[in-house]
């Protein structure tokens, strides 16, 4: 099964705040990939993020950033 992946923590935080499922973190050299379930919603949500028209709750977005940073630093 193919997954949607990004190495951008802010994009990943937006996807997480949008309630998309983070499957795992995958290390590669000196960074991590954030791996999400690959479906039309993941890709369309990412596209909306990069276009600047994705709306998420600000508190959930901030929480998602903290959560992903905590997960990254727990792995180092």
Q: What's the domain range around 10? A: 3-74
At 39-74, the pLDDT tens digits run 788 999 999 999 999 999 999 999 999 999 999 888
Q: How many domains does the chain have?
A: 1
At 3-47, the pLDDT tens digits run 899 999 999 999 999 999 999 999 999 899 999 997 788 999 999
CA angle 60, 64, 66 (to 5 degrees): 120
pTM above 0.95, yes or no: no
| CA 34 centroid distance within chain | 6
Q: 41: part of which helix (H) or strand (E)?
A: helix 40-51
The pLDDT of residue 75 is 64
């Amino acid at each position: 099964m193919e997954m949607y992946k990004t190495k951008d923590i802010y994009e990943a935080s937006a996807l997480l705040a949008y309630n998309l499922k983070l499957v795992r973190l995958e290390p590669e050299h000196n960074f991590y990939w954030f791996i999400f379930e690959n479906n039309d919603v993941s890709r369309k949500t990412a596209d909306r993020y990069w276009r600047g028209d994705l709306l998420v709750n600000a508190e959930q977005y901030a929480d998602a950033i903290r959560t992903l940073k905590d997960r990254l630093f727990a792995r180092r």
